[in-house]
Chains A and B, each alone.
Chain A
């Protein structure tokens, strides 16, 4: 079966005064129908930029999508003009996106009602009354009590968790095929986080939507994602089925990421948390070698001289971008 979304060799660069930042440097990934995938990595590794590139929401200038294809439903989205009508109808209608900060993602001067109905009017051509009824229905669906009364409130009258629910209601309002959630739970507390994620999962099942969760939280992807992509310095360094990656991580960076997640029942005596030493690299003027090299505990001579290793298969649907077989080494 052909993938619903197929990103091929996507490259997004930013031109700054200090040089060219290769924020996304050859990312390839695919999403099947009704699939939940996780895109994991540290801050600044290019997760959000790659997703914004898919939506063509990169501010240009300074950003520029220099290469790649984003095949959605058989069409290359990058061929359409970023601000054109076709992209506008795809955004929100076919691919919707939820942002990190629910506090700032809603327009403060419009009522919740207006913000949801606007979308319904753009994408589905509903009239005001039908859109309002649908908006109330959607708010009920995402668990906002007294939706009939609450709908005329403004965003500042809602709490963070409530706003994120509103964002979800907006995102699913036009029944998109893919939902991209860019760190959807970073700005809310842990209890709300679980509720929001459960809600998203429920909505996906209901509307047959695929989900891309962009996060730095391994716990979130472990629980929800079926497949995982691990990003580092603008590239995918490991990809595979979620269970595979957690049980059998192969890239030194993924191993490091999993080692620094505390596990239930652990004490300081049974296992120390191991942080990854060093900092993520500056994306300006990257060396030709593997970007993880300075922080890697497994490095060999080949790593220091060779170019960035290409992705190679190490198992069923499991790929890593590393020269070393970490299993042998350990």
Chain B
């Protein structure tokens, strides 16, 4: 054979590689690409800061968010005493913001995690089954998508009542349908690729095909949906709270804080802007991190490492 006489370096040129490939573990490749770009790192830093705030909130917050009501000092503007001012009941906005991070981030992450897991599973099952099962899953999904997510969540929250757990259930149901739809669509198109047939010809079973051929190739849009979803979940929770079925009032939540503050938008804009900015930062952080992760996890996008 002609090739075996050639040296490795020549062949490197022949196949278009100018750097000799070193053995890298999958993890190190992903990490090095992820940290090689500025925006994902910014995203990661933002998320990390918020997570630290979530964990160490009680020690960081200057006041208690619920019982420390400085009524004499209500609707105060930012000062050295209250860095972000106080709300109508004289509660410290910064403290409420810090405690609010716990509930809001928790809701966002849990809802997205659960709905993605369920949605991806159902989507893959639907894509890999023909006939009745496929139609049952997809028609129910279509049915769910016919309702605006907020109406659906409102309905479920109304039926189950308020409270953290029920809000999470209500929002999850609303988020599942689009994930099923996207996963199923992607899986159906990935399934037509020759490498899936090739894998079958090599003896891959159904489960192998689903998990190692189809799922990894559907990953990019799912990851993007997840990162976008966290922001919209936090906002949807705000909507539910505004309509009176969300987290019960004294508990600080960002969404509710935005809503409560809007009455004083002209006199005390920081009441709405501070939690709004927090939501924006979290969403931005997750989006950047998501994009970075997508690029770092997809071998075609990260180039030769």
Contact = CB atoms under 8 A, between A and B. Distances in A.
Contact of B195 (A107, A143, A149): A107
A36 interface: no
B202 A150 contact: no
B199 interface: yes
B15 interface: yes
B143 interface: no
B23 A149 contact: yes
Contacts of A170: 202
Given A118-B212, A122-B204, A199 B1 contact: yes
Interface stretch (B52-60, B158-166, B296-304): B296-304
A236 B26 CA distance: 49
Interface string A141-174: 0010110111011101111001000010011001
B201 A99 contact: yes
Contacts of A250: none
Interface residues of B, number: 42
Given A108-B217, A110-B216, A153-B21, A83 B203 contact: no
B21 A152 contact: yes
Nearest to B191: A59
B27 interface: no
Contacts of A83: 205-206
Nearest to A167: B198
B299 A109 contact: yes
Given A99-B197, A104-B194, A154-B300, A143 B4 contact: yes
Nearest to A154: B299
A106 B304 contact: no
A109 B217 contact: yes
Interface string A59-100: 001000000000000000000000101001111110011010
Interface string A217-259: 0000000000000000000000000000000000000000000
- Most chain B C-beta atoms within 10 Å of own C-beta, residue among A106, A107, A146: A107
Nearest to B26: A111
A289 interface: no
A16 interface: no
Nearest to B130: A61
Contact of A146 (B8, B14, B200): B8
B240 to A, nearest CB: 38
A55 interface: yes
Nearest to A160: B15
B212 A110 contact: yes
B221 interface: no
A205 interface: no
Interface string B103-123: 000000000000000000000
B79 interface: no
B17 A119 contact: no
Interface in A10-46: none
Interface in B1-51: 1-4, 6-8, 11, 14-17, 20-24, 26
Given A109-B216, A149-B23, A104 B195 contact: yes
A99 B4 CA distance: 24
Given A88-B204, A146-B8, A156-B299, A101 B23 contact: no
A152 B22 CA distance: 9
A325 interface: no
Nearest to A202: B1
B193 interface: yes
A162 B195 contact: no
Nearest to B297: A109
B92 interface: no
Nearest to A182: B201
Contacts of B4: 143, 145
Contact of A145 (B11, B22, B199, B219): B11
Contacts of B200: 57, 91
Interface in B204-251: 204-206, 208, 212-213, 216-217, 219
A282 interface: no
7 contacts: A85-B205, A92-B201, A99-B201, A109-B217, A146-B11, A154-B299, A158-B15
Give 7 nearest A-B pairs by CB, closest first: A92-B203, A92-B202, A97-B201, A154-B299, A105-B198, A145-B8, A104-B194
